[in-house]
Amino acid sequence: MFEKIKRSILAGICIGLGGAIFLKLGGVVGAVMFAFGLLTIVHYKLPLYTGTAGFIDAKSGNDWLSMVVILLGNIVGCYLLSLLNIKGIDGTAVIQSRLDAGFLQSLLNAIGCGYIMTVIVQAARDKNILLIIFGIPLFILLGFYHSIADAFYMFVVSFDLLKAYLPTYCIIVLGNFIGCNIPRLLSYNKR
How many Å apart are CA 178 and CA 135, to the nearest integer? 18
Q: Which domain holds residue 62?
A: 2-185
pLDDT the model gives residue 191: 52
Q: Could you list the mean pLDDT of each consecutive 10-residue stretch along the chain, which spans 191 residues?
A: 95 97 96 95 95 87 91 98 92 96 98 96 90 94 98 96 97 98 79 52
So what's the pLDDT on residue 129? Answer: 86
Are 50 and 114 in contact by the 8 Å Cβ rule? The answer is yes
157 C-beta neighbours (distance < 10 Å), count: 19
**Tally of domains within the chain:** 1
In this structure, is residue 191 part of a structural domain? Answer: no
d(CA 180, CA 191): 12
- 14 within some domain: yes
Instruction: Answer yes or no: is 48 within a domain.
Output: yes
Give SS3 for 56: coil
Give residue 188's pLDDT. Answer: 63
Q: What is the dihedral of CA 29, 31, 36, 37, to 10 degrees?
A: 150
What does the pLDDT read at residue 54? 92
Do 135 and 34 meet the contact criterion of CB atoms below 8 Å apart?
Answer: no
Assess if residue 26 is contained within a domain: yes
d(CA 1, CA 169): 26
The pair phi, psi for residue 66, each rounded to 5°, is -60, -40
Q: What is the pLDDT of residue 190?
A: 55
- What is the predicted pLDDT for the residue at 88? 85
CB neighbours of residue 184 within 10 Å: 17
CATH code, domain carrying 72: 1.20.1080.10
Which pLDDT score is estimated for 114? 97
Residue 79 lies in a domain: yes
Residue 190 belongs to a domain? no
